[in-house]
Amino acid sequence: MSAPLLRVETLHVWFELAGGGELHAVRGIDFELAVGERFGLVGESGCGKTTAILALMGLLPPNASVAGRVVLDGEDILARGEDSVSPHRWRDIAMVFQGAMNAFNPVRRIGDQIVEPMELHRVAEGKEAHRRAAELLELVGIARNRIESYPHELSGGMRQRAAIAMALACKPKLVLADEPTTALDVMVQAQILNLLVSLSEELGLALVLVTHDLPVVAQTCGRTAVMYAGRIAEAGPLDALYHDPRHPYTRLLFATTPDLFEQREVVSIPGVPPRLDREPAGCAFAPRCDSAFAPCASVTPRALIVGDGRTAECHLNDPAARAAS
Amino acid sequence: MGRGDYIAKRVGFALITVLVAITLNFVLFRAIPGDAVSALRCRQCTAAFKEFQRQELGLDKSKWEQYRLYLADLAHGDLGRSLRTERSVASELWAPIRNTLPMVALGTFFSILLGVAAGVVSAWRRGTIVDRGTLYTGLGFYSMPPQWLGLLMVLYVSGWLGLPTSGVKDPILGILGDASTWDVVVDRLEHMVLPSLTLGLVLLGEYALITRSAMLETLGEDYALTARAKGLSNWAVVRRHGLRNALLPVVTLVALSLGFIIGGAITIEYVFSYPGIGLAIVEAIDKRDFPVLQGAFLLLTLSVIAFNLLADLLYFKLDPRVTT
Amino acid sequence: MSAGVEGAAFVERQGRGRALLSALRGPQLAIGLLILLAFTVIAVFSPLILSRDAKTKVGDVFEPPSGAHVLGTDGGGADMVALLVQGAGVSLAVGFAAAVVSALIGGAVGLLSGYFGGKVDTLLMRITDYVLVIPDVPLMIIVAALFGRSLTNIILIIGAIYWTTTARLIRAQVKSVRERVYVKRARAIGAGNTRIIFRHVLPQVAPLLVANTVLLVALAIFAETFITFLGLGDPALVSWGRLIENAFKDDALLNEAWWAIVPPGVCVTLLILACTMIGQSLEDSLNPRLRVGHLSVRRFRLRPLDGRLDAE
């Protein structure tokens, strides 16, 4: 395998809380991404997935602190904080935010907002930049003349397409998409996902898709990581995770997703994720786990290789731990 | 609802409000215990004179007839006559208005400019000493009665700055020798500084506070995060994505606080003996010269309505989403 | 999704109570309450504190501060401290009474408008819009000039004009409460409008109304100083607004008697500051904005990894 486009190593994020204390939102995650690869990051809300990708771009609020390495094309872009990460923003890594949330400033024209990063990063200027913005809109399936429109004049689905066009403005190598389809209806959702896949294939664009919605990942991504309480519980090819989950959380997460054809009971996972203002003892998932056994409450599980390109953090995969109990 | 309809709607609203204001003005001044003339205080006010005035004002006619006459007079720009000087109210008020307008405009302009700047800096440096300083200074000025701040100005600031504290012009300027236009303008400005500054400081706090919170809210929006993700520097995000959005509530606030601005201007003019509309009102109250009072109140109301309309149109220009 | 989302979700899990508590813990509310409490105590006990009417002449005109008269005397030779103590009662009474009148009118208009919607709403909001455009302070001045100079009149005038923002605020809140599940359920099981309003809607909007009333107190006290300054106050009573007027009328400026000018204004300013801080903190805690701005001169920090955290 050639050198990865992006390598994330032991990424941690803490938030200083207003009332004192700290929230350890991302607790050391690792993953790699090849050029043009589509990678899914799945988990319940509050598991740290959004924080993790915002950390990749150094977009955390001032009460946050970050540790770890984010290596893009061999360069650790977080090494010197804001100074080292800002030249890469939008130029190499762009972002698509949630559909319902407004990525566009409501009082400025769509076209101007797409042109903005081009001029900032000297990709194109003036007329040329506007021409390129119109082309990008066309590429995502919006009429060229919409560059003159204001955001509120576009439907939710169109606005999300425009946001994708905006992400492509500086020909990035990687696009981070945070719940890009959550607020959209199912038909539009499918269109947007198809658009993302085809753009990724045509332009050789790598994609990190963050979502709580497994079917969304199934439609778009190959390798996937399941996050729980700020750590990656299990990672590997999605179909392997589905057919042979090696972490109870992965299994339960799939079980919570309704299936049209299989007559299987949809379950919900009891309990709530742990509070992360103190370090959980043992496995963070243990209190909600249906297969927890002796070591889970006290010993933190380590990531074990459980197959080809697969890792899982669960004592069930550790013969020594099982033998001991 | 189209964008064009918005303008029509706002203008329509303004016109109806004008009618409401005129009616209110009429009703208020006829609802007084006794009538406008009996309260009059002046030397020549004998019983016969008062009776004559009553006929002159049409107070012997029915209320509806009076209302009709009032509207008809207004349509001709006739605001009635001062009971005290016998001159028309319009000409009584003309000079004061010319004095008040630049003073209030200067004060408001000063407060908006400085208030918005302070609010932006405060939001931008939130949580720092600068932010706290701005916050509490703003809150402090916001809490001061304007007339009292005016008195403090006279007491502590005027001597220090060497500025006049009363009137609108130097009474001896141009008498001992010819005064150039420049001298006259400078003299006028000097007399305007303290009243304007007082008004500006009183308003400044509120504008700074609203700008700060609007700015913070705007900067918390997703498009501000997107702008950062695009690689814009902090300052560029403020300039290109924060300012215009944060100005929207400021426009609304300025329009809403017009009543307060005018109220403040009235007491401030009184403190500085600045012969504007406020001083005219104070004198009319003192002498119970109701036609002047009524005319002044009507003018103030109409100008507030006009500025509200202006604010609506400005809002329309700033925010493309507005349609209703 | 906002970057502070994990923090926000965290606070959300703790419930609203936490937000209220954090506001209560903030210095603003505490300082505000302290000032208000101090003035209220002074106002309530002023008859006990003062042995005679504060306007009694006890010394020379504009006597500077001394041991006998800590803040000197005013233009009538009355002791400034005594005047300030007596003035506290009148100013607070005007403030609270007018604010209550405003809150009652505004609350009622907002409730009816938000709850019934439709034509009632349109009509009431139209009226509110018109009142909002009429310049409030000049109107108060005119009405005070026309209808006489009594305390009751002043309270009613201020109260009758300052209800508009309250009405709008309450209307918006009622509209959202109305759509909540339990209100819909109450209606579904056949509860009458009166019952729903008093049992379900009012308790939900009451805290906001209280917060808003505190803000109105500040406005009303302000308005009283305006009206009084123009010579339209109740001639028999001493209020802080009246003391400012007296200082001006009696030429305290010419006498450079700062002690007659500064203290009453400081009292008004402190009281308004206090009411504003209380009202604002309460409103903020009822309507918490947990959004975190994405920019600041300060930036996120980088932290070295120590072995303990490095699980790998």
Cβ atoms of residues B149 and B197 within 8 Å: no
Tokens standing for residue A12: 């941690």
Tokens standing for residue A8: 């994330």
Half-sphere exposure of A29 toward its Cβ, with a 13 Å CA cutoff? 29
Closest CA to B116 of B254, B228, B212: B212
Nearest Cα residue in chain A from B221: A102
pLDDT at A101 (0 to 100): 57
pLDDT at A201 (0 to 100): 93
What percentage of residues in chain B have a pLDDT greater than 90? 18
For residues C216-231, give the mean pLDDT. Answer: 90
pLDDT at C263 (0 to 100): 93
Q: What is the pLDDT of residues A165-184, one digit of tens each?
A: 999 999 999 999 998 888 78
pLDDT at C13 over 60: no
Residues in chain C with CB shorter than 8 Å from the CB of A101 are 1
For residues C198-214, give the mean pLDDT. Answer: 86
pLDDT at C134 (0 to 100): 84
Distance CA A148, CA A111 (A): 6
Cβ atoms of residues B257 and C133 within 8 Å: no
What percentage of residues in chain B have a pLDDT greater than 70? 91
Nearest Cα residue in chain A from B321: A152
b/e code A154-171 from CB counts within 10 Å (16+ = b): beebbbbbbbbbbbbbbe
What percentage of residues in chain A have a pLDDT greater than 90? 48
pLDDT at C298 (0 to 100): 52
Average pLDDT of chain C, as a whole number: 80
Query: Coil, strand or helix: which one is A74?
Result: coil
B105 vs C14, which has greater pLDDT? Answer: B105
DSSP string of B282-313, one letter each residue:
HHHHHHT-HHHHHHHHHHHHHHHHHHHHHHHH
Distances (CA, A) of A257 to A38, A184, A248, A266, A268: 21, 18, 15, 7, 9
Within an 8 Å CB–CB cutoff, is residue B220 touching chain A?
no
For residues B203-224, give the mean pLDDT. Answer: 84
Name beta bridge partners: A263: none
pLDDT at B42 (0 to 100): 63
Q: pTM here?
A: 0.80
Within an 8 Å CB–CB cutoff, is residue A282 touching chain C?
no
Q: What is the pLDDT of residues C24-73, one digit of tens each?
A: 446 778 888 999 999 999 999 888 888 778 777 888 888 888 878 888 88
Q: How far is A144 from chain C (nearest CA, A)?
A: 28
pLDDT band at B248 (very low <50, low <70, confident <90, very high): confident
pLDDT at C40 (0 to 100): 92
Distances (CA, A) of C189 to C5, C117, C175, C182, C195: 38, 21, 20, 11, 12
Q: How far is A54 from chain C (nearest CA, A)?
A: 7
Q: How far is C159 from chain A (nearest CA, A)?
A: 38
Q: What is the pLDDT of residues C89-125, one digit of tens each?
A: 999 999 999 999 999 999 999 999 998 888 999 999 9
Distance CA C1, CA A102 (A): 9
pLDDT at A213 (0 to 100): 86
For residues A63-91, give the mean pLDDT. Answer: 89
Q: What is the pLDDT of residues B100-118, one digit of tens each?
A: 999 999 999 999 999 999 9
pLDDT band at A233 (very low <50, low <70, confident <90, very high): very high
Alpha-carbon dihedral angle through residues B102, B105, B106, B110, given to the nearest 10 degrees:
180
Q: How far is B223 from chain A (nearest CA, A)?
A: 4
Tokens standing for residue C92: 């607070």
pLDDT at B188 (0 to 100): 85
3-state DSSP: chain B helix, strand, coil percent, rounded to 5? 75, 0, 25
Q: What is the pLDDT of residues C229-267, one digit of tens each?
A: 988 888 888 999 999 999 998 888 888 888 989 999 999
For residues B66-73, give the mean pLDDT. Answer: 84
Within an 8 Å CB–CB cutoff, is residue B271 touching chain C?
yes
Q: Does A116 sit within 8 Å of B232, measured CB to CB?
A: yes
For residues B233-249, give the mean pLDDT. Answer: 86
pLDDT at B134 (0 to 100): 87
Distance CA C164, CA C157 (A): 13
Cβ atoms of residues C225 and C240 within 8 Å: yes
Q: What is the pLDDT of residues B138-192, one digit of tens each?
A: 888 988 999 999 999 998 888 888 788 777 777 777 666 677 888 888 888 888 9
pLDDT at C218 over 80: yes
- Helix-helix angle C240-249:C202-227, to 10 degrees: 20
Residue type, B164: P
Residues in chain A with CB shorter than 8 Å from the CB of B225 are 59, 97
- How many residue pairs from chains B and C have C-beta atoms closer than 8 A? 170
What percentage of residues in chain C have a pLDDT greater than 90? 25
For residues C274-294, give the mean pLDDT. Answer: 69
For residues B9-37, give the mean pLDDT. Answer: 82
pLDDT at A99 (0 to 100): 59
Interface of A with B in 261-320 (CB under 8 A): none
Q: Does B234 sit within 8 Å of C296, measured CB to CB?
A: yes
Q: What is the pLDDT of residues A35-60, one digit of tens each?
A: 999 999 998 888 889 899 999 998 88
Nearest Cα residue in chain C from B149: C265
pLDDT at C2 (0 to 100): 32
Average pLDDT of chain B, as a whole number: 84
ipTM over 0.95: no
pLDDT at B189 (0 to 100): 87
Distance CA C312, CA C300 (A): 24
pLDDT band at C288 (very low <50, low <70, confident <90, very high): low
Closest CA to A179 of A319, A53, A16, A27: A53
For residues B239-248, give the mean pLDDT. Answer: 86
Q: Does A105 sit within 8 Å of B223, measured CB to CB?
A: yes
Q: How far is C24 from chain A (nearest CA, A)?
A: 12
pLDDT band at B44 (very low <50, low <70, confident <90, very high): low
pLDDT at C15 (0 to 100): 36
Q: Does C130 sit within 8 Å of B147, measured CB to CB?
A: no
pLDDT at B38 (0 to 100): 66
pLDDT at B149 (0 to 100): 94
Nearest Cα residue in chain B from A168: B230
Within an 8 Å CB–CB cutoff, is residue A67 touching chain C?
yes
Which range (B274-283, B301-310, B313-322, C105-114) has the least confidence? Answer: B313-322
Minimum-distance CB partner of C292 among A48, A61, A231? A61
b/e code B242-272 from CB counts within 10 Å (16+ = b): bbebbbbbbbbbbbbbbbbbbbbbbbbbbbb
Helices H, strands E: what count in chain B? Answer: 14, 0
pLDDT at A227 (0 to 100): 94
